[in-house]
Amino acid sequence: MMSALRSGLTLKTREAIAGWLFVSPILTGFLIFFVGPLIAVFYYSTTEWNLLSQQSRFVGMENYVDALTRNDTFWHVLGNSLVFAAGLVPLNMALALGLAIALSRPFRGVVVFRTLFFAPVITSAVAWAIIWTFLLQHESGAVNRALSLVGIDGPNWLHEPRWAMAAVIVTRVLKTVGLNMILYIAALQSIPRDYEEAARLEGANGWDIFRRITWPLLAPTTLVIMVITVVGSLKVFDHIYLMTGGGPQNATLVLAFYIYEQGFKFFNTGYASALAVVLFVLILALTVLQMLLKTVRK
Amino acid sequence: MIKRLIIATALTGTFASAAAAEELRFTVWTGSEAHLAMLNGIAESFAETHPDVTVKFDTIPFGDYVQKLTLQLAGGNPPDLGWLLESSAPAFVNAGVLEDVSGVLEATEGYDYADFSEPAMGLWTKGDAVYGIPFSTSPFLIYFNASLYDAAGLETPAERAADGTWTWEQLKSDAAALRDADAGVWGYETVDGQGYDARVMHNLMPIVRSYGGDAWTDGICTLDSKESAAAVQLFHDMVYADKSTVPPGEQGDFFSGNAALTMTQISRVSKLADAGFDWGIAPLPSGPAGVASTVGQAAVVAFAQGKNKEIAAEFLAHMTSEENVAGMAEFFPPARKSVLESDAFLSSNPAVQPEQMEIVAAGIEGGSVLPSHERYPQIEAAARPDFDALWAADADVPAVLARLCDDIDPLLK
């Protein structure tokens, strides 16, 4: 039977069938667990659906109109998300690059340092947030006690609107910078040493080498890191949930947390779905924009 | 052939038996072994009359309880029974997700429904329908560190309550006197240290009501009333003027001995089992409008989407029978008058003296339940930025409360 089947198919067709069979498990999972929910969210975003009572009615684009034109909180929340991303992304990338440059060459104890900076990435987000909440306590926290040693009276970091976002951004950077550092180290180590040696023979100093050789060659890695860091920062939820709950005075209320509140605290599932679609479109647009900028530069 | 018949008969018997057996799933937020042992004991006694029924208690952490429960209901995997807090009651009752158990309660022999007072049942009934029976009606009390009071030579809250001089002003004065910054001892700690966030109402309502105010009345916010503002100002002064109270962003823990006073419920007594200090319990202080006992309430409910609604309602009736309510009283102050007034209740908790349990009983009898509303989560979210604004040393308390009422009034309608 199989041989008859084989004899009736071309090699290309048989290879195609084999290929599809190999990818079918992951493809099936992708369709069920990603594409399906994505379509469902688009549909739910056009309904007024109360999660608790399970009452639903089609409202078309009403949820979007409501969010974009009538809800001041939405724009405040969106602004917070963008501020969070604008604060976190450059800080994270600059620190990751600096650490990578410092730790990309072999020296005694380099593995220990790399492990230390990478450890927060695999640390539980809950433990990280709780520890930092203690460290950032107003009077008894270690951060303000350290500042007091140099004569600085530290603020109540997580309970003052003007400081809370900064505190959350910095603690998030410290949690996630290790991953970007590893990516940069891998990229730095893939740059042939010949380029640097040749440049030095030509009289280039360290800054020249970085600016004209290292940085351009890191560009593909930088793009990847930027995209994943921007996406990650716009989706931040656990950090906010655990450290500030969106406060004080909504200063750290970001879009992902607001979606959670609308969906699972207020039971406005349709409205939450519309906000999720807005977040999806925002992330997609920023990702495409970053890709385009890279293309234009080329 | 005969062998096949024997196997088929045996299998049929097994399946028939499995089909008859029922398992009730009951969601709770306690993970306490003592609580679960007590609940399992109630389940075992239910099996005496329902031998094919087993009850599985499914613990969901308190912080996630409502969300996870809602997702289970929405996802078509509803539990048969569960616990609900007073703040969730209106939304769940109005959403129609709770089963009306009045018929089963009426049909249960010896079930004295009238033993539950009307105020106790207020949140759980709608017309003649009964959607839940309170299993815990727990008033807030003042816990004090008697060792610190003794060292300071101050009259204790219990003594002051006995002689009628236990007021919020006195608590404020005691907290200021007992605050010892060098020793890391605070004067007063809010409810579980969460009185500025999730439990701000638990923290403020007893003070506000004793000053004659309230959160809202007849769909109108009353937190901006003169009385409410005076009460909140008193607490604000404790935090920022006296610096006697653990402020937002700091940690204090009465149960570890680093706060002289706290306000909480009787279930927290278990945290004092190994306390390295003497402690005592006192009623809430009085204010200009007298003592305003405030009660947190939780009820056991059966879910309308449950697969075994009839049996679930029967278990609810069994669990809230006079006998089982008396058994639960050690941990969960009862809403049944007969149990509340019994001598057995006063000695139900070995860690608490009968005269201290009398404070609990009095708190329940004269208490009013914490504020609730169908849109409580939205109200909580709308009020959050205003409450946050309140927790600053230079906050204009009446102005912030006025803004808060402006923000939540539309949601109260």
Chain B residues lying within 8 Å of A157, measured CB to CB: 249
pLDDT tens digits along A43-65 = 999 999 988 888 889 999 999 99
pLDDT tens digits along A238-252 = 999 999 999 899 999
pLDDT tens digits along A259-268 = 999 998 888 9
Nearest by CB to residue B250, choosing from A139, A266, A267, is A139
Alpha-carbon gap: A129 to the closest alpha carbon of chain B (Å): 14
pLDDT given at position A8: 76
Q: Is the pLDDT reported for residue B8 higher than 80? A: no
Question: Hey, are the CB atoms on B388 and A50 less than 8 Å from each other?
Answer: no
Chain A residues lying within 8 Å of B377, measured CB to CB: 261, 265-266
Q: Is the pLDDT reported for residue A270 higher than 60? A: yes
Residue B133 structure tokens: 């029976």
Question: Hey, are the CB atoms on A247 and B385 less than 8 Å from each other?
Answer: yes
Q: Which candidate in A160, A264, A271 is best for mutational testing of the B interface (most B CBs within 10 A)?
A: A264
Chain B residues lying within 8 Å of A249, measured CB to CB: 385, 388-389
Question: Hey, are the CB atoms on A261 and B381 less than 8 Å from each other?
Answer: yes
Question: Hey, are the CB atoms on A266 and B377 less than 8 Å from each other?
Answer: yes
Alpha-carbon gap: B328 to the closest alpha carbon of chain A (Å): 30
Query: How far apart, in whole angstroms, are the C-alpha atoms of residue A199 and residue A216?
Result: 14
Residues from A contacting B (CB-CB < 8 Å) are 50-54, 134, 136-140, 156-161, 245-250, 261, 264-267, 269
Q: Mean pLDDT throughout A10-38? A: 94
How many beta-carbon pairs under 8 angstroms link A with B?
71
Nearest by CB to residue B384, choosing from A158, A247, A267, is A247
pLDDT given at position B16: 42
Question: Hey, are the CB atoms on A54 and B74 less than 8 Å from each other?
Answer: yes
Mean pLDDT, chain B, integer? 90
pLDDT tens digits along B196-225 = 988 899 999 999 999 999 999 989 999 999
pTM value is: 0.85
SS3 label, residue B261:
strand
Alpha-carbon gap: A228 to the closest alpha carbon of chain B (Å): 29
Q: Which candidate in B388, B390, B394 is best for mutational testing of the A interface (most A CBs within 10 A)?
A: B388
Chain A residues lying within 8 Å of B391, measured CB to CB: 159, 248
Q: What percent of chain B has pLDDT over 90?
A: 65
Amino acid, single-letter form, for residue A64: Y
Query: How far apart, in whole angstroms, are the C-alpha atoms of residue B260 and residue B175?
Result: 7
Alpha-carbon gap: B384 to the closest alpha carbon of chain A (Å): 7
Question: Hey, are the CB atoms on A264 and B67 less than 8 Å from each other?
Answer: yes
Chain A residues lying within 8 Å of B249, measured CB to CB: 136-138, 156-159
Nearest by CB to residue B385, choosing from A137, A249, A265, is A249
Residue A169 structure tokens: 């951004």
Please check whether residue B318 is in contact with residue B343, taking contact to mean a CB–CB distance below 8 angstroms: no
Most confident of A106-110, A112-116, B348-352: A112-116
Alpha-carbon gap: B396 to the closest alpha carbon of chain A (Å): 15
Alpha-carbon gap: A170 to the closest alpha carbon of chain B (Å): 18
Q: Is the pLDDT reported for residue A3 higher than 80? A: no
pLDDT given at position B6: 47
Please check whether residue B145 is in contact with residue B259, taking contact to mean a CB–CB distance below 8 angstroms: yes
Amino acid, single-letter form, for residue B124: W
First to last CA, chain B: 74
Q: Which candidate in A52, A53, A136, A250 is best for mutational testing of the B interface (most B CBs within 10 A)?
A: A52
pLDDT given at position A7: 60
Chain A residues lying within 8 Å of B71, measured CB to CB: 51, 264
The model's confidence at residue A298, banded by pLDDT at 50, 70 and 90, is low
First to last CA, chain A: 54
Query: How far apart, in whole angstroms, are the C-alpha atoms of residue A82 and residue A282?
Result: 10
The DSSP 8-state label assigned to residue B336 in this structure reads B
pLDDT given at position B352: 85
Phi then psi for residue A244, to 5 deg, are -130, -15
Q: Is the dihedral of CA A46, A47, A48, A51 positive or negative?
A: negative
Question: Hey, are the CB atoms on A52 and B381 less than 8 Å from each other?
Answer: no
Nearest by CB to residue B197, choosing from A138, A245, A269, is A245
